[in-house]
Every structure is written in C-alpha cells, then in structure tokens.
Structure 1
Amino acid sequence: METQANFLRVHSIESFGTHDGPGIRMVIFLQGCKLKCLYCHNPDSIDTHGGSDYPIEELVEMVLKTKPYFGKKGGVTVSGGEPLLQAKALIPFFKRLKEEGIHTNIDTNGRILNHFSQELLDDYADLIMLDIKHMTEEGYQYITGNPNKDTGLKFAKYREDSGKKMWLRYVLIPGITDKPELLHVLGNHFKDFKTIEKIEIQPYHKLGIHKWEALGWKYELEDVRENTEEEIATASKILSQYFKEVKHN
C-alpha cells in the first residue's frame, strides 16, 4: 500500500474513544489490511484503495483541538485496518504528536516488522496493543485467511526486547478461541514477558455483520453465538494465572 509520507489514508475517526488504550483518546482508524478476519467489524476498512487521504498536519490540528479532554492518561490511538501498512507516514505524524506531548498508541496485528515499523516502535510509540488471533497455525489461517509464520509472536518478542509497554488483545470466539487448552498455550507463551501490562479479552459479537452484507460478502461466523458471562469469567480466570491484569469489555 503506497501513501505519500505527508498523508495518511483514513477510514474513520472517533473523537472520544474509551476502549482503545488508556484514558480518553482520539482513535484514527486507518484504511487497508492484508488480513480478512472472520469476525472483522470494519470489513470496509480492508480495501487498501478505500478511505480518504488526510494531510498529517490537518490530523495534528484535529488532535490538538481534542487534547484538553485527554487528561493525564489519554492521547491518540491509530487502529485500522492495519495501521502499520502506513508506517512510513505514521513516523512524521507520531513525531509531531510527541513534540506536542501527546501519548501515542498503535493497535496492530503485528504482521509488519520492517525498517519503518521498527523506527515507529523504537522512537515514537508509547504503547502497542497487539491483537493475538490464535495460538495455532491452523487456527490463525482459519480466522485470518492468511498463514501466520509466527509474525505476531516475532513482533511481540521485538517489543519485549525494547522494554516498552504492550497490551495484548484476544477475541474470545465460542468453540474457536475459547478452548481452555488454547488459553493456557497463550498464557504460557507470554508469562515471562515483562512489558505486557494487561491482556484484554474481547467478547465475540456480530455488530459488523451488516457491513459484510453491504459489501456482498458471506459472514462465515453467522451461526456462532456470543459468549456467555460464565465463558468470559472462565477465560479470565485461566488468563489471570499468567498476566498481571485481565480485562474484558
């Protein structure tokens, strides 16, 4: 995906987000993703040719107008789509935000670890929220439509080695990702990581199904029910054995 270094291709913007990092945040959903996750609630953000180009300075001005509401914890989160497809353009954007003393966060699937994304991680990203799709190759490919090749795990190791903060996110899909053995595999893999502050369990929902229908795409998880409170509590109890904090929305 090619974008000019002084523009970001944006899907949508949420001015007062409360579920995408600490505090009140401006959440900028970037356009384009190489995965097609079965549960994606923004499938219209997948097409790399969609969205609208925003000059970086225009985005900075929008952020500065919202900054008084951020308080001590808030800031800006870039999500998607997959924001690191636009890592080259995110560098000058995050650099400007850091000059203004604004907390920066990236919500990513962790598949892109190149020169630009490494510079972004090393110098400008205060926090990373890493989406863990599945802990087996077969499960990952079923959910995303792409082979894993341990990309997300390599990304997590890179962040861990940097000593900088990271959160994990995990969508709990009945019968697919909520099996106790998978949760233990997840916990055991990350139990010794020092940079992980918390893991967020994201209960499965179908809020984006109408978008799939509008695109003329078949929603493959239509027959999958949403989680029960007991299932969420069980997953939380298992993961609490491995992580400092387990949160669910």
Structure 2
Amino acid sequence: MSTLSTPSPGPVRPGPGGPLTGSVHSWDLSIGVDGPGTRFVAFLAGCPLRCRYCHSPDTWYRRSGRSRTVDELMAEVGRYRRFVQVAGGGVTLSGGEPLLQPRFTGEVLRRCHELGLHTALDTSGFLGARADDALLDATDLVLLDVKSRDPATYREVTRTGRIGPTLRFGRRLAERGVPVWIRFVLVPGLTDDEANVAGVADFAAGLATVERVEVLPFHRLGAHKYAELGLTFPLAGTAPPTPDLLDRVRGRFAARGLTVT
C-alpha cells in the first residue's frame, strides 16, 4: 500500500449554503485490505475513540485533516475510477471515523454509487446512529470493527466508548440486508480472553449478512507516529499474537460457521 496523498492540515470550512465540505486526512490505494479488489480509500479525520492499539493517532482530530469539498474528493476518485473498476474494486471511506462526518460521508458514497462504483464504509459502529437510511442505501459493504463483546473490555480498549451502539448498528445492518465484514483485532492480554472471543463470534454468527470475519493480529507498526506526536504508545510492551493463538481464535469463529481470514 502506498500513500497517494497526505493533505496538509487545514481548518474545515463552515459555510451554510456553500459547498459541503469534510476534513480529509489522506487517501490511498489498497488491494484486498479495505474491501474487495483494488480500492481508493479516503481516510477522514476525527474519531471519538482512543483505542489502545490504534495505528493512526494522526487521524484522531478533525483539525488533522484538510478541508475538502465533495467535488474535490470526487475529482480524486475520478482519476482512479477506471483502474479500480477493472480491478474489481471500488471506494472505501475510512478514518479516523467517517461517521463523525455523516453528511459528507453520505454524499461521497452517493456520488460514488452514481458512478457505478462499489462502496464500503469502514467504521467502529460507535456512531452508527448517525448513518441515516440514505447513507446506508449508498453503502454496498460495511467493514465493522467489533473491538470486544465484553463491555468492560470494550471500554478498556477504546478508553472512551461503549459496546451497545456497535451492537445495535450491526443488527440494523443485518435487518436492512447490508453485507458486513466483521473485523476483530486480537491483542494478547487485552482482547484474547476466551469468553470475549466467544461473545464476538456469537454476535457475528447472529447477523445474517456477515460475509466474513477478519481476525487481525495486533502489531506495533504505528508506534513511530506516537513518538512523532509526542505521545506514549499504550501497548509498546505488548507482543503480537503467536501463530498458535491466532489459529485458536480463528478456529473459534470458524466453529460458528463463519468464513474467517
């Protein structure tokens, strides 16, 4: 994956009656990571959570991005439209947390749909109530980051959040027939408790539209960003999961009849 652009920080323009703007941190091309095929991925700035394993602390604040109109972002999408379509991909809105900017996110997804592009929304679901029906109508796939099923563990992971909104959002997606890929980050000593893993697996298995579960091994690749920002990486002393632990956890999901990667 290579960064195509990292806009310099700038304020988000207000402007009632003017062009709809959002705070965009950067954009990228990815292959098989942020949805099917080769994808144009826009990372929106701002997130209400402070996950202990977050590898993008540079996206936490909206001021970390640059103000972009929908037309400006769509012009960038247009440069790669043919390429991603031929490669069986599309456009993914990620973050940060794209539902922190629901009007901007919804309009970009709608415009991508008009171009015949497959759309994906990468979200924690914590702000799922902000996604109105029109936004979901323009979303072909949701990459839903389920950080934990246990409320106490969820709060320990996110340092600010509650699991309830994510669970409600997941059920709403299933009721609407929206395809979902569940993402679960496996962190030794934090999210690997057997009861917690079983809870996430049960939740995923209970959603009729879950197409796959991605068990993502914790890594420390973003630690340098914390140093650059003068922050302490909370999990600096935590090792990635062993292959045996990964296999056991993936097996737990597979035992519930789920497709696991």
TM-score (norm 2): 0.89
The equivalent of 1:183 in structure 2 is 197
Equivalent pair of 1:90/1:120 in contact (CA under 8 Å): no
The equivalent of 2:23 in structure 1 is 9
Query: Quick one: distance in 2 between partners of 1:74 and 1:101?
Result: 11
Name the SS of the counterpart of 1:186 in structure 2: helix
Indicate how the Cα distance of structure 1 residues 94 and 198 shifts in structure 2: closer, same or farther if over 3 A, else same: same
Query: Quick one: distance in 2 between partners of 1:242 and 1:165?
Result: 18
2:145 partner amino acid: D
Deviations 1:121-177 (A, max 9, x none): 432111101101111111111111114051110110111110111110000001211
Equivalent pair of 1:75/1:103 in contact (CA under 8 Å): yes
Match of 1:151 among 165, 171, 184: 165
Query: Quick one: distance in 1 between partners of 2:161 and 2:75?
Result: 39
The equivalent of 2:235 in structure 1 is 221
Match of 1:192 among 193, 201, 206: 206
Equivalent pair of 1:10/1:53 in contact (CA under 8 Å): yes
Equivalent pair of 1:198/1:243 in contact (CA under 8 Å): no
Deviation at 1:193, TM superposition (A): 1.6
The equivalent of 1:122 in structure 2 is 136
Equivalent pair of 1:18/1:24 in contact (CA under 8 Å): yes
Which sits farther off after the overlay, 30-39 or 64-73?
Answer: 64-73
Equivalent pair of 1:87/1:120 in contact (CA under 8 Å): no
Q: Can you give the 5+ residue segments of structure 1 that lack an aligned partner in the other structure?
A: none
2:116 partner amino acid: G
Indicate how the Cα distance of structure 1 residues 88 and 243 shifts in structure 2: closer, same or farther if over 3 A, else same: farther
- The percentage of aligned residue pairs carrying the same residue is 32
Equivalent pair of 2:205/2:258 in contact (CA under 8 Å): no
The equivalent of 2:101 in structure 1 is 86
The equivalent of 2:128 in structure 1 is 113
Deviation at 1:231, TM superposition (A): 1.2
Equivalent pair of 2:154/2:163 in contact (CA under 8 Å): no
Equivalent pair of 1:127/1:167 in contact (CA under 8 Å): yes
Query: Quick one: distance in 1 between partners of 2:57 and 2:67?
Result: 19
Equivalent pair of 2:149/2:199 in contact (CA under 8 Å): yes
1:35 partner amino acid: L
Deviations 1:17-46 (A, max 9, x none): 431000000010100001110111100100
Equivalent pair of 2:128/2:166 in contact (CA under 8 Å): no
Moved over 4 A (4+): 1-5
2:128 partner amino acid: L
The equivalent of 1:36 in structure 2 is 50
Query: Quick one: distance in 1 between partners of 2:185 and 2:238?
Result: 13
Equivalent pair of 2:218/2:241 in contact (CA under 8 Å): yes
Structure with larger RCO (C-alpha < 8 A, sep 6+): 1
Name the SS of the counterpart of 2:132 in structure 1: helix
For the pair 1:100 / 2:100, whether they are aligned, the reply is no
Equivalent pair of 1:201/1:236 in contact (CA under 8 Å): yes
Equivalent pair of 1:168/1:196 in contact (CA under 8 Å): yes
Equivalent pair of 2:38/2:87 in contact (CA under 8 Å): no
Equivalent pair of 1:137/1:147 in contact (CA under 8 Å): no
2:89 partner amino acid: G
The equivalent of 2:73 in structure 1 is 59
User: What's the RMSD between the two structures over aligned residues?
Assistant: 1.8
How many residue pairs get aligned? The number is 246
Match of 2:252 among 238, 244, 247: 238
Name the SS of the counterpart of 1:49 in structure 2: helix
Equivalent pair of 1:32/1:47 in contact (CA under 8 Å): yes
Q: Can you give the 5+ residue segments of structure 2 that lack an aligned partner in the other structure?
A: 1-10
Query: Quick one: distance in 2 between partners of 1:49 and 1:25?
Result: 25
